Structure 1
Amino acid sequence: MKHILFFISFLLFQMPFGFSQKKGIHFSKKEWNQVLQTAAKENKLIFLDAYTSWCQPCKRMDKQVFPQKMIGDFFNKKFINVKMNMEEGIGKNLQKKYDIFFYPTFLFLTADGTVVHRNAGFLSAPKLLDLGKTALNPDNRLSAFETRYTKGERSPAFLKKYTEVRKAAMDGTHGAIAEDYLATQEDWLSKDNVKFIFKYVDNTDSKLFDYMVEHRTDFQKIMGQSKVSGKIENLIYQKIYDEKGNASLDELDRLFKKVYAPQQAEKASMRFKLNYFLEKKSSEKYAKTAVNYYKKFPPRDPSELSDVAYNFYELDVSNRKMMKKALKWTKKAVKKSPSFYNYETLAAVYFKLGKKRKAIKAAKKAINLAKKAKEDYSETQQLLDKIRQS
């Protein structure tokens, strides 16, 4: 009897695990060539989840979407499902072959490896289900649009829809289709076309970008000034940064000159470089840029100069001439606003210049002001201790 009870308990313990395993998508563990053979044998499309180990939306798909029963019921029945890391093994080859740049990317392929539909980015369960159904529909999937386009179809309605489908594929090819659509339009500044351009422009070297910049005022009336400015700047930053987070500053200057009036372009470029050099901890470049920037564009509030002067200290700027400039800024800020923070910066700059007595005096003044204002002065106390011990 005990053995029977133990066996029943064992089954009950195992059931939830077994059921949970069957609920979601079953991803094949076979080699890629075997997956293709299975697809051919069963006359099914392949659903490929192209992911990377660092992709957060990919992990969300794994936890929130793929395990759902309705997704498993549909995809397990209709497709041969496979997951593949695009940075390992055969995944590297597929990434190049299918121009996969965004993750996750979902490919639907025939048994010979031909893509019939694709999409990218996190999708909710209902949207993933719709995607799967679209992939199974020969008239609505991406390959159908490609065929119609190749055969010469160029009606505005078709091109507009094809742009949408191509954009969802996230393979960087929708821009040409968008331009084809606009070529059918007499008025690019109609409300619908402005919204169309704003939605699909994604390249600073495109006709759509040039047109948006040239007609910025018209776009701002429809989309709003902050949205248009944000869109332009985001596209510029997207263009200048490489995969390692390094920016092409020459390209930045070129693009800012393209989108802004000369003085505004210079100011925006120098401001960007200030933040960039600070982020990269390039002390001498930061200091030189700061001196040039504030010489051309003096701030209304001297406390801004005090903040920059403190950055000189934290970045350990070695150029004494630059540090004396920082001292001049800080004294001006203290005179205008004798605050705790400005005196703290004054102490740090004096310390960097080797003026120990003046640094101690300024640090004590900062601490006294902080006490009166009931502000945290622990970092200033650490600075004072450091000065005394030097």
Structure 2
Amino acid sequence: MKIKLFVVFILLTLGVSLNSYSDEIKFEKGSFAEVLALAKEQNRIVMIDFYTDWCKWCVELDNFVYTNPDVAKFANENQINWKIDAEKGEGPELAKKYNVSGYPTILFVDYLGTEIDRIVGYFPAGPFLKSMREIVDGSNSMITLKRKLVENPDDVIANFKYAEKVLNYGNSEEAKTYFRKVMELDKYNQSGYADDAELYNAMFTGKSEEIEKWIQKYPNSNMLKSAYSMVAETAFMENNDYSKARKYYDLAFEKFGRDDDELNFSYSQFLLTKMYSVYKNENASKEDIEATLKCADECLTLVKGSINEGSVYYYQSEFYMRLGDFENAIKAIDGALEIHNKKSYQEQKEKILKKRDSK
């Protein structure tokens, strides 16, 4: 029951990985029809990875989730895995058929092509594996939850899990209805899910104070980590309150440790958002820029080796250029270009050199 923070995201690269069975997911080649036939033959479901050339989070998924030994082992042993570029070949038609509009989207279907469930956006390896297991064993798939709600519309747990599913799909209005129903059905939190629904309800207000009230009310909840992150991001997005956001991330790290992958991912996205806000502010003060450069240094320790490393170097190059430190600006943009030689980075270097030479 983790809340996906900041971004709804997932990344994949082109090509098929057929390396070590235990270290990477094996993706089948062939057409959709051929993959479905294989699924029927082996009596397995199919995981379809919809990606695009430009989806940076798809790259992250490939590099950090699909190479996780536990994720790869489970996927290779329990399902047929297949990738499709949503903008090429069969991709556009399949994306339309299954109403796929954001990338990455990970679809799970049976051998007839009937959708079982989907994972939308990027999740670190742990939460991704948890979702995949629940879909494959049927314990928490969309199809299973819909059936449970037909059989018993007042099933508290099914209502809660269905609400989380539709929220993950991007339908917050429908999710609100089901979270409210959980709170109405279980006023005394006998199921252990009403307090979680109450947290989501606080999140929907968009006010960090409402989430803080929830934390005070439920200091020992299993959703506390998510709540800390939610206060932080809401405070920053609501009032640009960087100090409050940092306070709650510090509290989260103190309680859950600096090695928590989900927390580190959330924090890195927060730092990137902070950098972006200063980057977009052409009137940012020297003090703000210098403080944000410190954020960039911290963020680099969290995103090293990921696609976001290039983004941090790009922001650094802009901030150093604004401060007139062209040597470090060039060094930073060269770091970004080394990771990804894309047009925007090339143009940024040209801008830095032009500004330096005009001095």
Bigger relative contact order (CA 8 A; separation at least 6): 2
TM-score (ref. length: structure 1): 0.45
TM-score (ref. length: structure 2): 0.49
The structure with the largest helix share of the pair is: 1
